[in-house]
Amino acid sequence: MAATKEYDYLIVGSGLYGATFAYFARKVGKKCLVIDKRDHSGGNIFCRDEEGINVHAYGAHIFHTNDTGIWNFVNRFATFNRYTNSPVALSKGKLYNLPFNMNTFHQLWGVVTPEEAKQKIEEQTAPYAGKEPANLEEQALHLVGPDVYNALIREYTEKQWGKSARELPAFIIRRLPLRFTYDNNYFTDKYQGIPAGGYNKITEGLLEGIEVRLQQDFLADRDYFKSLADTVVYTGQLDAYFDFREGQLEYRSLRFEHKRLQTDNFQGNAVVNYSDAAVPYTRIIEHKHFEFGTQPHTVITYEYPETWTPGKECYYPVNDDTNMAIFRIYDQLAQAEEGVLFGGRLAEYRYYDMHQVIGSAMTAAGRIFGKDILDRH
């Protein structure tokens, strides 16, 4: 008879997927160990307290969802404020409202009515109608025309992806929402906000009563870690788990430069995008505005896009045909791997919003422990 292992589940990664799965496993009486190679739990939603300002250590995170069940679930762990994401973009010395709405169109063309804006967009896109877009530039011109594209899309997108828009696939912007109302709310979801006191409240609530070990690298000693539990829940890089044997999946990375300033208000908005190619960063985040802070100081973060290389954080999967072909091979290997559940944005090689990764973990928990566990907890 095989010896009983110390834990039912070893969960690799303490971000939203791992923490959510661990929460439900514990609720059905499973003994879990959560490990993370970082020196803190919470994954990319981790916040660092800077004298009362919750700094989003890995970039701006705004919770939004249309899923009432997920909204009610996260509200068990934190109280959300009424923050509405309304970024602005600086292009050639002029500020524009985002997303593209009547304010943006007025700033570009001086139009006042929706009919005037629609007519202008029709004029701008007419030369590109009926042509199948071969790349991102052609897709954008087809959707919005040259004025919006050149002011707010081209240079920003090229910085973000590190390639010419003519080299990028059209699917990256399959659609560009155009809103013919004076509404600067970036999201249209039913629920939106920031947890008062920061996102740590959510992950700490999910992991309450569960053993967590930090600065533990699963891949560096996987035999030992696998010996601890009956099942592994792996949320790390999928290709790294299989030692890159089928090739390396491509990502874009980010670098953050945080600064504390002795002023109460640096830019007047939580998020300001910088569209111009001459500016090396894509945006500046001023964290206090997420929670309507009144502190005498502020903390800002410059966000620089970078080419991903091993050792850097993986932020955006490059889901083009080449990478997706590699991913499908790894996905088949993952499905055949006994005793391991793969989940989360890295293990599934997809971009997830926060509510989506929680939903993915809840789906896995419901499949394993029974769907009624989701209703009871």
Tens-place pLDDT, residues 62-107: 999 999 999 999 999 999 999 999 999 999 999 999 999 999 999 9
The CATH code of the domain that includes 20 is: 3.40.50.720
Does residue 224 have a pLDDT over 60?
A: yes
Residue 147 among the catalytic residues: no
Respond yes or no: is residue 353 known to be catalytic: yes
Amino acid identity at 360: S
For residues 224 and 266, membership in a common domain is answered with no
* Annotated active-site residue in 179, 186, 199, 348: 179
The CA angle 187-189-191, to the nearest 5 degrees, is 115
Our answer to whether residue 38 is catalytic in this structure is no
Query: Which position among 36, 155, 303, 348 bears the catalytic label?
Result: 303
**For residue 178, is it within any domain?**
no
Q: Quick one: tokens of 137?
A: 């530039």
pLDDT at 250 over 90: yes
2: pLDDT strictly greater than 70 = no
Classify residue 151 by its DSSP letter: I
Biggest CA-to-CA distance, the chain: 78
Last residue of a domain, one of 173, 206, 222: 173
* pLDDT score at 347: 98
State the DSSP string of 22-38: HHHHHHTT--EEEEESS
Are residues 238 and 327 both part of a single domain?
Answer: yes
Average pLDDT of the chain to the nearest whole number: 96
What SS3 state is found at 272? strand
Task: Name the domain boundary from 280, 307, 334.
Answer: 307
Closest C-alpha among 129, 143, 325, 176 to residue 239? 325
Kindly state whether residues 137 and 265 are assigned to the same domain: no
* 321 domain residue, yes or no: yes
DSSP β-ladder status, 283-286 and 271-274? antiparallel
The bridge status of strand 298-307 relative to strand 88-91 is unpaired
C-beta separation of 299 from 53 below 8 A: yes
Q: Number of structural domains, the chain?
A: 3
Q: What's the pLDDT tens digit per position in 337-356?
A: 999 999 999 999 999 999 99
Of 252, 274, 291, 348, which one is the catalytic site residue? 252
Q: How far apart are CA 340 and CA 325, in angstroms?
A: 22
Residue 182 belongs to a domain: no
351 in active site: yes
Please report whether residue 312 resides in a domain: no
pLDDT digits (tens, 9 = 90+) for 186-206: 999 999 999 999 999 999 999
Percent of the chain residues topping a pLDDT of 90 = 92
Active-site residue flag, 315:
no
Quick one: 92 and 159 in the same domain? yes
Identify whether residues 229 and 361 lie together within a single domain: yes
pLDDT greater than 70 at residue 252: yes
Contact by Cβ (8 Å): 311, 237: no
Find the mean pLDDT for residues 289-316.
96
Same domain, yes or no, for 62 and 164? Answer: no
Catalytic residue among 166, 260, 351, 367: 351
Residue 187 counted as domain residue: no
Residue 374 has pLDDT above 90, yes or no: no
First to last CA, the chain: 35
Residue 152, pLDDT > 60, answer yes
Q: Which of 55, 63, 107 is nearest to 83 (CA)?
A: 63
Please indicate, yes or no, whether residues 224 and 330 belong to a single structural domain of this protein: yes
Please list the residues that pair with 298 across neighbouring strands: 261
Residue 249 has pLDDT above 80, yes or no: yes
Q: How far is CA 74 from CA 212, 364, 372, in A?
A: 20, 17, 18
Residues 338 and 323: their CA atoms lie apart, in Å, by 25
**Whether pLDDT at 231 is above 90:** yes
Are 234 and 350 found together in one domain?
yes
pLDDT at 279 over 70: yes
Considering the domain architecture, whether residues 27 and 134 belong to the same structural domain is answered as no
Whether the pLDDT of residue 325 is over 90: the answer is: yes
Q: Given this model, what pLDDT does residue 34 score? A: 98
Q: Per the residue annotation, which of 175, 338, 372, 375 is the catalytic one? A: 175
Q: What is the pLDDT of residue 377?
A: 61
Query: Which comes out higher in pLDDT, residue 54 or 129?
Result: 54
Distances (CA, A) of 33 to 27, 99, 221, 232: 14, 42, 15, 10
Res. 175 pLDDT band, cuts 50 70 90 = confident
Q: Is 154 a catalytic residue?
A: no
**Are the CB atoms for 65 and 190 separated by under 8 Å?**
yes
Bridge partners, residue 11, by sequence: 34, 233
Contacts 24+ apart (CB under 8 A), 261-270: 261/297, 261/298, 261/299, 261/300, 262/296, 262/297, 263/297, 263/298, 264/294, 264/295, 264/296, 264/297, 264/298, 265/298, 266/298, 266/300, 267/300, 269/86, 269/87, 269/88, 270/60, 270/83, 270/85, 270/87
Which of 140, 173, 206 terminates a domain? The answer is 173
Distance CA 45, CA 58 (A): 7
In terms of domains, do 23 and 165 share one? no
- What local confidence, expressed as pLDDT, does residue 10 receive? 98
User: In degrees rounded to 5, what are phi and psi of residue 290?
Assistant: -65, -30
Residue at token pair 């070893």: 10
**pLDDT at residue 290 tops 80:** yes
What range does the domain containing 347 cover?
A: 7-82+192-250+317-376
Please check whether residue 2 lies inside any domain of the structure: no
Same structural domain for residues 99 and 166? yes
Q: Are residues 38 and 158 in the same domain?
A: no
Per the domain annotation, does 180 fall within a domain?
no
**Would residue 252 show up in a list of annotated catalytic residues for this protein?**
yes
Q: What is the model's pLDDT at position 3?
A: 67
pLDDT of res. 16: 98
Q: Can you tell me the distance from the alpha carbon of 121 to that of 197, in angstroms, rounded to the nearest whole number? A: 42
Given the residues 17, 283, 291, 349, the one annotated as active site: 283
Asked whether residue 46 is assigned to any structural domain, the reply reads yes
Q: Is the predicted pLDDT of residue 1 greater than 60, yes or no?
A: no
- 259/329 Cα distance (integer angstroms): 42
